[in-house]
Amino acid sequence: MSDRTVFFISDGTGITAETFGNAILAQFDFKPRRVRLPFVDTPDKAHQAVRQINHTAELEGKKPLVFTTLVDRQAVNILQEGCKGMLMDMFGTFVQPLEQELSIKSHHRVGRFSDVSKSREYHDRIEAINYSLAHDDGQSNRDLTGADVILVGVSRSGKTPTSLYLAMQHGLKAANYPLIPEDFDRRQLPPALVPHKKKLFGLTIAPERLSEIRSERRPGSRYADLQNCRMEVSDAEAMMRRAGIRWLSTTTKSIEEIATTILQEVRPERLSY
Amino acid sequence: MSDRTVFFISDGTGITAETFGNAILAQFDFKPRRVRLPFVDTPDKAHQAVRQINHTAELEGKKPLVFTTLVDRQAVNILQEGCKGMLMDMFGTFVQPLEQELSIKSHHRVGRFSDVSKSREYHDRIEAINYSLAHDDGQSNRDLTGADVILVGVSRSGKTPTSLYLAMQHGLKAANYPLIPEDFDRRQLPPALVPHKKKLFGLTIAPERLSEIRSERRPGSRYADLQNCRMEVSDAEAMMRRAGIRWLSTTTKSIEEIATTILQEVRPERLSY
């Protein structure tokens, strides 16, 4: 742990400030202390932030790093004038040049989430989360016509977290459906999926990794046994190949990376924007 | 729809590039066409991006806006030299001044998700998602001791999407538990929750909004009836007040805003960083 502190300051949730700051910090091999200051939406709170930053600067004898996505220029000015940190001001840096290029003024409005109860997009996102939950792990065949994408793969190949991520971040109705030994015996896709072949996307995984993951849940079981995992994975891949389903391996991929690839491949028409 | 295109270019998933670009674009009242170009991780792909941008510039007769989080300087140089768009380069802008302040060199490494199968943090996040799913809607009382936070509230007050968001984005084991008419009749918290009072956080919602949401699921039902919603909400708030549980109203808040407030209030020790 370094003796340097990083502040993330925002008038809203601070999600953008953290994404921005963390992406930049990831370029450096050091582990600062992190402090989030969300909802800094009055001059009072901006002054309070300045006091906190300057107190830290004194204690540590080093400039704190301050990532801000403050929209309100008055708040930014308070920070600029008073604070002893190194200010990285995302809006100040990019918004003004954009105003010139676009020949329109920015409106300095705070937050992208205001009044969500009236937003169609937000409503659709919540609907998508509910849909994906109801169609997790083949729980329901009903209404698969409504799915934007249906993930298939053996148990623990990453279908559930990926479906939820696609719903939560991209507003996609993402169902998921397990491929199980009975399907391999019949050498056929689960019948419920056949009418929806265009929407299917397969996830596979290295048998060694699968066995590791399954062992955490059911150590010593046939389910987790490496030999069994090898057979299931090879059967599942053969089935996806025969059926002409696009697929990828999740072995070393994060749900974000899996989701991005699926979006590129499936290109569902109804994207969140 | 404007006749101006915005590109988001990244060597990874493009999530940071989009967060960065969309936050800035949200300051302007115009709706550009959006194009994501993730996984731009070779000079070839950078040249391809340049061609695509320049083709668009020609078609539209306007400079495309290009938000990049490219880490690889060679790729950035290809864009800078060749492309006719307005380049907003997040890393180039902030990383160099930081190198000076920190007196360390950035490593220009791509992506924050490399080799997830070996990352403890990623593993904990997936565990948290599984935990939150298994403890959705009071499904299981087992292992509530392991929860970082337990959300309570009437049905459809926003507990499920918020729990999943806390798990997915912050790696928190977030259980959720419904408050139902039987609890109000007994005028007591569900017994399973009593030992975990410190971890409880309440969600409430305006009865009018609740009735709207419930009506989408079960139109004309007693469940969705405004009078019934009024009673449930008032009973739930009274119960939370008596039990000394912190709570907030979700009526006009996004899951991101709700989650941020919960994190500030609960300050669970085990945060994702």
User: ipTM of this predicted complex?
Assistant: 0.85
Task: Check whether residue A158 and residue A67 sit in a common domain.
Answer: no
pLDDT on residue B272:
41
pLDDT on residue B114:
57
Task: Check whether residue B138 and residue B171 sit in a common domain.
Answer: yes
Contact between chains at B91 and A24 (C-beta distance less than 8 A): yes
Domain boundary among A72, A102, A132: A102
- Identity of the residue in B93, B108, B254 whose CB atom sits nearest the CB atom of A27: B108
Number of domains in chain B: 2
Q: What's the rounded mean pLDDT across residues A248-273? A: 81
Tokens representing B112 are 């924050």
* Dihedrals phi, psi of B184, to nearest 5 degrees: -70, -40
- Identity of the residue in A13, A254, A273 whose CB atom sits nearest the CB atom of B113: A254
Contact between chains at A27 and B252 (C-beta distance less than 8 A): no
Is the pLDDT reported for residue A261 higher than 60? yes
Task: Check whether residue B260 and residue B144 sit in a common domain.
Answer: yes
Task: Check whether residue A77 and residue A141 sit in a common domain.
Answer: no
Strand partners, B89: B68
A153 is in an annotated binding site: yes
Confidence of residue A119 (pLDDT cuts 50, 70, 90): confident
SS3 category, A97 = helix
Confidence of residue A140 (pLDDT cuts 50, 70, 90): confident
Find the domain containing B255 and state its range.
Answer: 117-266
Task: Check whether residue A93 and residue A121 sit in a common domain.
Answer: no
Between CA A264 and CA B138 the distance in angstroms is 37
More confident call, B142 vs A18 = A18
pLDDT on residue A264:
86
User: Does a structural domain hold residue A44?
Assistant: yes
Contact between chains at B22 and A112 (C-beta distance less than 8 A): yes
Number of helices (H) and strands (E) in chain A: give both, helices first: 10, 8
Strands (E) in chain B, as ranges, are: 5-9, 33-37, 65-68, 86-89, 149-153, 174-178, 200-204, 247-249
User: Does a structural domain hold residue A216?
Assistant: yes
Task: Check whether residue A121 and residue A88 sit in a common domain.
Answer: no
Between CA B203 and CA B237 the distance in angstroms is 9
Between CA B78 and CA B57 the distance in angstroms is 17
Residue B23 touches partner A, C-beta closer than 8 Å: yes
pLDDT on residue B155:
96
Tokens representing A255 are 């749900």
Domain boundary among B43, B73, B102: B102
A34 is in an annotated binding site: no
| Range with lowest mean pLDDT among A1-5, A178-182, A224-228, A239-243 | A1-5
Task: Check whether residue B97 and residue B229 sit in a common domain.
Answer: no
Reduced 3-state DSSP string for B143-210: CHHHCCEEEEECCCCCHHHHHHHHHHHHCCCEEEEECCHHHHHHCCCCHHHHHHHHHEEEEECCHHHH
Tokens representing A14 are 């601070």
- Tokens 């994404």 sit at which residue? A19
Strand partners, A11: none
Instruction: Identify the H or E element spanning A200.
Output: strand A200-204
Q: Strand order in B5-9's β-sheet?
A: B33-37, B5-9, B65-68, B86-89
* Dihedrals phi, psi of B158, to nearest 5 degrees: 110, 10
- For chain B, positions 34-93, list CB contacts with chain A under 8 A: 34, 36, 38-39, 63, 65, 69, 71, 86, 88, 90-91, 93
Confidence of residue A120 (pLDDT cuts 50, 70, 90): confident
Amino acid identity at B151: L
Instruction: Identify the H or E element spanning B32.
Output: none
> What is the CATH number for B157?
3.40.50
User: Does a structural domain hold residue B273?
Assistant: no
User: Residue B253 half-sphere exposure, CB side, CA atoms within 13 Å?
Assistant: 22
How many other β-carbons are positioned within 10 Å of the β-carbon of residue A2? Answer: 13
Task: Check whether residue A91 and residue A166 sit in a common domain.
Answer: no
Could you give the angle at the alpha carbon of B194 between the alpha carbons of B197 and B156, nearest 5°? Answer: 75
pLDDT on residue B273:
40
Domain boundary among B79, B102, B125: B102
The residue of chain A with its CA nearest to that of B63 is A101
Tokens representing B62 are 């306007």
Contact between chains at B98 and A28 (C-beta distance less than 8 A): yes
Task: Check whether residue A170 and residue A70 sit in a common domain.
Answer: no
pLDDT on residue B268:
60
CA dihedral defined by A218, A221, A224, A229, rounded to 10 degrees? -160
Is the pLDDT reported for residue A98 higher than 80? yes
Task: Check whether residue A238 and residue A150 sit in a common domain.
Answer: yes
Size of interface A-B (CB pairs under 8 A): 174
Between CA A89 and CA A66 the distance in angstroms is 8
pLDDT on residue B151:
97
Between CA A25 and CA B245 the distance in angstroms is 37
User: Does a structural domain hold residue A110?
Assistant: no
Q: Of A102, A115, A272, which to mutate for an interface test with B (greatest number of B Cβ within 10 Å)? A: A102
Confidence of residue A164 (pLDDT cuts 50, 70, 90): very high
User: Does a structural domain hold residue B108?
Assistant: no
Is the pLDDT reported for residue A271 higher than 90? no
Nearest CA distance, B186 vs chain A (angstrom): 30
pLDDT on residue A142:
80
Between CA B15 and CA B198 the distance in angstroms is 35
- For chain A, positions 133-162, list CB contacts with chain B under 8 A: 133, 136, 160-161
Task: Check whether residue B148 and residue B252 sit in a common domain.
Answer: yes
Task: Check whether residue A60 and residue A25 sit in a common domain.
Answer: yes
pLDDT on residue B94:
92
User: Does a structural domain hold residue A56?
Assistant: yes
Is the pLDDT reported for residue A273 higher than 50? no
User: Does a structural domain hold residue A228?
Assistant: yes
**pLDDT tens, residue order, chain B (273 aa):** 567 999 999 998 888 899 889 889 988 888 899 999 999 999 999 999 999 999 999 999 999 999 999 988 899 999 999 999 999 999 889 988 898 888 888 877 765 555 677 788 889 999 999 999 999 988 887 889 999 999 999 999 999 999 999 999 999 999 999 999 999 999 999 999 999 999 999 999 999 999 999 999 899 999 999 999 999 999 999 999 999 999 999 999 999 999 999 998 876 654 444
User: Does a structural domain hold residue B143?
Assistant: yes
